Chain A
Amino acid sequence: GQQVMQIPQYQHVQEGEDFTTYCNSSTTLSNIQWYKQRPGGHPVFLIQLVKSGEVKKQKRLTFQFGEAKKNSSLHITATQTTDVGTYFCASPLQGAQKLVFGQGTRLTINP
């Protein structure tokens, strides 16, 4: 079945360093959504990408959707301690009305 593979599973950085997480699928995705879950919290919607090659920015966060709509990335510039959490990508399963989530990338930061 359709899967969304996300790497890396864990990432530890020094505060101020950059961070990137990647999502890949073997099938074309209609759209990709990104969520952030703080430790002990619930997933919070960040952004949705729909168009091929789309790039969106939210302050220090840059989201990209690949030209073939099979991969996506989230890049954080100059991480801060408030960026700690797990970042998930998700995409609607083809032909069904449900989201398939990537495994998530857990970001920890050394202040």
Chain B
Amino acid sequence: NAGVMQNPRHLVRRRGQEARLRCSPMKGHSHVYWYRQLPEEGLKFMVYLQKENIIDESGMPKERFSAEFPKEGPSILRIQQVVRGDSAAYFCASSPIGQGSNQPQHFGDGTRLSIL
């Protein structure tokens, strides 16, 4: 079974550009979580999605950030008009069912976003 696939692994953007991060969950997993990790810090929850639904976006900034998980294709985390403070590692994780059922999460390799 392929694991959680994220691309690109590294992304460089200039201030004001848009960044699009992709995540394909593990086969059979329909729940996707996005986290942000700053250097030397922990994982901060951003958003939890199921197919075609945003379940919890309480950790996502209200402006410039959006996420989707369409019926077909990968989940996308989109950051518009990037600023230097957006530089971080963005991890995607998936699980077969929600955490309410105590399932561990499987993480992708992450996308390291650098803003020039």
Contacts and interface: CB of A to CB of B under 8 A. Distances in A.
B32 to A, nearest CB: 11
Give the most central of A43, A45, A50, A98: most B CB within 10 Å: A98
Contacts, number: 58
A42 B42 contact: no
Interface stretch (A14-22, A52-60, A66-74, A100-108): A100-108
A95 B109 CA distance: 29
B36 to A, nearest CB: 11
Contacts of A48: 102, 104
Interface residues of B, number: 26
A42 B107 contact: yes
Interface in B63-108: 91, 93, 98-100, 102, 104-108
B29 to A, nearest CB: 13
Nearest to A47: B104
Interface residues of A, number: 24
27 contacts: A33-B104, A42-B108, A42-B109, A43-B91, A43-B93, A43-B107, A45-B104, A50-B102, A90-B43, A92-B99, A92-B100, A97-B48, A97-B55, A97-B56, A97-B100, A98-B45, A98-B59, A98-B99, A99-B33, A99-B45, A100-B45, A101-B43, A101-B44, A101-B45, A104-B41, A104-B42, A106-B40
Interface of B: 31, 33, 35, 40-45, 48, 55-56, 59, 91, 93, 98-100, 102, 104-110
